[in-house]
Structure 1
Amino acid sequence: MSDKSAAPSPRTRIRRMPERASYDTDAIAAIVDAALMCNVAFQIDGSVHAIPTLHWRDGQHLYIHGAKASRMLKALTEGEACLTIALADGLVLARSALHHSMNYRSVVIYGRFEAVTDPREKQRSLQALIDGLYPERWETLRPINDKELNATSVLRIALDEASAKVRNWGVKDDAEDLAWPVWAGVIPLNTRLGRPLAEQDSKVSEVPATRFDCRSENSFESE
């Protein structure tokens, strides 16, 4: 992990509980990969909006996509944006109400989006989205056509100006409270895959694999 004082910019420096901060690019990328959606904050005509949207990462960029007519996507290429990601990993139960907490991983990203305009690069980016969720699925799908590709906007933002904040430990009670007769500890939180529900007219019965089929430290749990 890199030096926690090495924030890439003043606005990414974590001031509240800086011991939880990380500016390490690998740590930030792992949290981005573990989440399915981010919240994008931006301005349109002086009004602030924050919209949740699906995202994916390819290298040192975070990508989003949407309809070409989207007001949000247009605004994101014209001004600054702030993205947030938060994953809840555990409920922390202390012996006092004040010290109850939550284990979590979070990322904040600042910058400006740029449009991916080259058709081949746009298609490659969309393939990264699909195959990132469902390995090797892209090649099994009906090929995307020019009309669909033209109607879809793909934007990306560099992860150069980002910070992570993580809590991943147990209870921090005051010494005088340690003998208090109440349960203290951490209750883990996990997201699990549910039972697949096939369409009645699906031509294939075998359920495709997803990236969540295997448990890893920075991914969802599946059972």
Structure 2
Amino acid sequence: MTDEPLSPTERTRLGRLAEKGRTEREELHKLLDTALVAHVGLDAGGYPLVLPTAFAVDLDGPDRGGTLYFHGSTAARWINRSRGAMVCVTITEVDGLVAARSGFESSMNYRAAVILGEARVVEEAEERLHALDLMVDHMVPGRAATIRRPSRKEVAATQVLALPLWEASLKVRQGGPDDEDDDIADNPWGGHIPLYRVAGAPVGDEGSRGPVPDDVRRRAEQLGAR
């Protein structure tokens, strides 16, 4: 893990609304710990393609700045196009709706990261299994240790790619609108609507027996289940 500041290259240095940029890697790490979905952008062979995917992060991973892992079927065209290619991964959490006094200032509160780099194929078996466990635990911490281990067939059917966290930027918007003084004088109210992710109580399937496992129950409680 590195504590070097974000945006170390021209490609990730912010231009528009640079004042909303963050330079502390710890803030990026907090977003990656909270978010559940990443979008991977790549050249799919003559046309751009952006796809959602589960992910996980190892801050002590082998790549510079730590490692972001994502995966897909070995038969998927997009995952094979990503092998050794330059990709762009974006991760966004929406924290609120900004109700401004003008359309121009209407916005959202958000935390948004952009990570650029060459996607490395994870060939070594131990690292691949470690990455798959991290992805399970990113959704429900501790879950990988309580469920069946992946079979050889499942591992063979899964391609794991790794992306260094080195070349990254983070932009954050918080609070209310940035309204003009004239708009504030003409319209008495402006503000924002906070948004939160809240889980429901765990729902077992038809084959479930006994109480909800501790790892699932704790995760639901962490996400605010009632």
TM-score bracket for the superposition, by shorter chain length: 0.7 to 0.9
- How many residues align structurally? 216
Give the counterpart letter for 1:100 in structure 2.
S
Residue 27 of structure 1 corresponds to 27
Structure 2 residue 133 is matched with structure 1 residue 127: yes
Maintained 8 Å contact 1:56/1:63: yes
1:50-74 deviations in whole A, cap 9, x for unaligned?
A: 1111111111111101112221121
Residue 29 and residue 72 in structure 1: after superposition, are their counterparts in 2 closer, same or farther (change >3 A)?
A: same
* Structure 1 gap segments, 5+ residues each: 215-219
Instruction: Name the structure 1 match of 2:42.
Output: 42
Corresponding residue of 1:213: 221
Paired with 1:125 and 1:7, the residues of 2 have a C-alpha distance of 25
With the length of structure 2 as denominator, give the TM-score of the two structures: 0.87
**Counterpart pick for 2:201 among 191, 195, 204:** 195
- Give CA deviations for 1:63-118 in whole Å, capped at 9, x if unaligned: 10111222112111232111111111111112223222211000011111111111
**Aligned ranges 1:25-174 → 2 under 5 Å:** 25-59=25-59, 60-174=66-180
User: What percent of counterpart residues are identical?
Assistant: 33
Give the C-alpha shift of residue 171 in structure 1: 2.2
> Cα 1:121–1:78, aligned 2, differ >3 Å: closer, same or farther?
closer
| Pair 105,222 (structure 1): closer, same or farther in 2 beyond 3 Å | farther
Q: Deviations over 1:116-143 (max 9, x none)?
A: 1111221111111212322222222122
Letter in 1 for 2:221: D
Give the SS at the match of 2:78.
helix
Distance in 2, matches of 1:167 and 1:210, equals 30
Return 5+ residue gaps in structure 2 as ranges: 60-65
1:39 counterpart letter in structure 2: H
Secondary structure (helix, strand or coil) at the match of 1:117 reads: coil
Structure 2 CA distance for aligned equivalents of residues 3 and 157 of structure 1:
17
Match of 1:201, SS state, is coil
Cα separation, partners in 2 of 1:44 and 1:92, compared to 1, 3 Å: closer
Match in the other structure for 1:175:
181
* Whole-Å separation in 2 of the counterparts to 1:57 and 1:211: 18
Scaled by the length of structure 1, the TM-score of the pair is: 0.88
3-state SS in 2 of match to 1:213: helix
For residue 192 of structure 1, report the CA deviation from its aligned partner: 1.0
RMSD of aligned Cα (Å): 2.1
